[in-house]
């Protein structure tokens, strides 16, 4: 089994069903492929070849304004180790 085989299966499934159904298929496929590798049923872990499927019509996140981003970064004391950890400084 190769990454190309996995991609082919996902593409084949996505042509026949909805985006939501394909997303469920991919989630199950990834889990199954990972299980097969861990159990020694396949030689290589190809689970990462089952890429996430997104709805092309979905609206992308808008993010924050440049001014808000600057204010957020300015609130961190980047001279300290804690201030450089962007997930912990605010």
Confidence of residue 89 (pLDDT cuts 50, 70, 90): very low
Question: Token digits for 68?
Answer: 């808000």
Amino acid 37: pLDDT: 94
Q: Are 10 and 29 in contact (CB under 8 A)?
A: yes
pLDDT digits (tens, 9 = 90+) for 37-85: 999 999 999 999 988 877 765 555 567 888 888 888 788 777 877 776 6
Full-prediction pTM beyond 0.95?
Answer: no
């Amino acid at each position: 089994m190769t990454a190309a085989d996995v991609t082919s299966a996902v593409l084949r499934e996505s042509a026949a069903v909805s985006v939501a159904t394909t997303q469920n298929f991919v989630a199950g496929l990834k889990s199954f492929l990972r299980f097969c590798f861990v159990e020694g049923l396949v030689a290589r872990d190809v689970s990462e070849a089952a890429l996430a499927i997104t709805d092309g019509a979905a609206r992308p996140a808008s993010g924050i304004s440049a001014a808000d981003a600057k204010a957020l970064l300015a609130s961190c004391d980047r001279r300290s180790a804690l201030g450089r950890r962007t997930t912990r400084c605010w």
